[in-house]
Structure 1
Amino acid sequence: MSTLLADTSDPDLGLLRAVNGLAKSSPDWLDALVAWVGEYGILLGLAALGVTAWLQARRAPDAPVAVAGLLWAPLAVAVSELANLPISAIVDRPRPFVDHPELDVLVEGKEGTLSFVSDHSAMSMGIAVALLLVNRRLGLLAGVLALLQGFCRMFVGVHYPTDVIGGFALATAVVLLLAPIAMAVLVPLCHALTRTAAAPLIVAGKRGAPGPGGDGGRRRRRASRSSADPDPGEPDEEPARDLAA
């Protein structure tokens, strides 16, 4: 098969063989655990970090700005995945086990798909960099998970090291280069949401704007009824005229 990166460099393949070789000498339960962590576990962990960052951002003095930064994380991941579609088609690099059947592949269903860049690596690093811009501590923890994600993709034999590095670079570029444009849209949006019923999603402890049936509507209805009812302290004029007659 003629591909743009068919002639894989020795360091790239050598590192992949070294990492994937650990799977051959590991017990089956560890191989299964690493395969699950690399496919689903790390992404679930990053989602949990995102929720934690959101709960903390809602209590920040500049909560709308912080929440806007967190909203950029999933959007940046989506943009990275869209950008990867033409890149993957242009590079046209098959999975490493296609040209190197000696590799120990621990994940099924990857046949017929392309290797460059690693989607899992791009998603993980995109979330990590976006979190780092908002919450340094959680962002660093997410960065560790992203690096672990890259290791897992090589351990299970579905990506070259350069696939992982390419995913990291793509996501980082998308997050940092497009962040000013994204924040110019998301910050005003979050500020606007603080004046709606969705306010508790942006600022902790802030009640949303009352709707037509809320407290404001009830107060207006009570005021309308009280203005329409006669004052019980004033005498009825009609009976007074009758007595005068």
Structure 2
Amino acid sequence: MAGLDESGSNPDVSLLYDINGLAKDSPHWFDRAVEFVGEYGLLLALVLLVVWCWWGQRKRGTLDDAASSVAAVVWAPLAAGIAVLVNVPIRGFVERPRPFVDHRGIDVLVDGKTDFSFVSDHATLAMALGAGLFVAHRKFGLVGIGLAVLEGFCRVFMGVHYPTDVVGGFALGTAVALLLSPLAMALLTPLAKAVGRSARVGRLVWSRPAEAVAALPGASSSQAAAAQDPDERDLAA
């Protein structure tokens, strides 16, 4: 893809210079902080947010509710992985160079970025996680989307992406997380229910798996006791 015009007639490049120019006016410690946050910190925060949401969704009142909620949480990281895979052929087709390759005066805060620029993997991952969380839990999702927007700003601030790289990543991550959500839920919810009925790993889905085990046809009292007391599991087996 041909380099973009450096003149002010191109809003993508103008916004790139405006945002990246903030790095030149910022103290060194702030640039280093943004580098860490934009490269690793925000993605780690989103992963922790997913874990937090999963922990809370396990405490639903019934197994059916817990299973569907946990399935939605599990879909968030799966959607992020699928979105990044979808991005591989997109990058190869567009072949857009990084902004510092075609434009002078870009303050690059992180080295080693030699691959293509469109679309941003970081923005794609972050927004897929945020949109996926929104399917599972609105409040967690809004926080996740906010972190994703901040991630996109950091990528432009760091000089490694154009604003449209970030917008493209947001669109790709959102599309995968939302459009494939019905199919994902149809596949993941029965699996989550099956896991939730297990005396050994049921707590991954529901915080009270003993109730599910006791409700199963033919379930013995020792199986229900094993689900309630982890120390009894080996005896029940």
Instruction: Judge same fold: TM > 0.5, yes or no.
Output: yes
- Equivalent residue for 1:55? 55
Q: Distance in 2 between matches of 1:142 and 1:25?
A: 29
- Equivalent residue for 2:3? 6
Is residue 198 of structure 2 the alignment partner of residue 198 of structure 1?
Answer: no
Q: Distance in 2 between matches of 1:80 and 1:139?
A: 17
Of 111, 115, 118, the match for 2:117: 115
User: Mean Cα displacement is larger for which, 185-194 or 134-143?
Assistant: 134-143
- Equivalent residue for 2:220? none
Q: Distance in 1 between matches of 2:103 and 2:4?
A: 12
- Equivalent residue for 1:98? 101
- Equivalent residue for 2:236? 216
- Structure 1: state its 5+ residue gaps: 218-245
Q: CA deviation at 1:135?
A: 1.1
- Equivalent residue for 2:217? none
Deviations 1:127-178 (A, max 9, x none): 1001111111111111111000000000000000000000000011101111
Q: CA deviation at 1:205?
A: 3.1
Q: CA deviation at 1:7?
A: 3.1
Alignment of 1:175-190 (within 5 A): 175-190=177-192
* Equivalenced residues, count: 213
Q: CA deviation at 1:206?
A: 2.3
Change (3 A) 1:22 1:200: same
Counterpart residue type for residue 26 of structure 1: S
Counterpart residue type for residue 63 of structure 1: A
Q: Distance in 1 between matches of 2:56 and 2:4?
A: 48
Deviations 1:72-92 (A, max 9, x none): 011101110110000000000
Q: Distance in 2 between matches of 1:100 and 1:216?
A: 68
Q: Distance in 2 between matches of 1:13 and 1:204?
A: 51
| Greater than 2 Å deviation, 4+ residue runs | 5-9, 205-217
- Structure 2: state its 5+ residue gaps: 214-222
Secondary structure of 1:113's match? Answer: coil
Structure of greater Rg:
1
Counterpart residue type for residue 50 of structure 1: V
Secondary structure of 1:203's match? Answer: coil
Secondary structure of 2:3's match? Answer: coil
Alignment of 1:134-145 (within 5 A): 134-145=136-147
- Equivalent residue for 1:76? 79
Q: Percent identity?
A: 48
Counterpart residue type for residue 67 of structure 1: V
Q: Distance in 1 between matches of 2:76 and 2:47?
A: 10
Of 132, 135, 138, the match for 2:134: 132
- TM-score, scaled to structure 1: 0.83
Q: Distance in 2 between matches of 1:106 and 1:200?
A: 43
RMSD: 1.8
- Equivalent residue for 2:17? 17
CA contact (8 A) 2:4 2:102 kept: no
- Equivalent residue for 2:26? 26
Q: Distance in 2 between matches of 1:20 and 1:119?
A: 19
Q: Distance in 2 between matches of 1:213 and 1:189?
A: 22
CA contact (8 A) 2:4 2:13 kept: no
Of 154, 158, 161, the match for 2:160: 158
Q: Distance in 2 between matches of 1:75 and 1:81?
A: 10
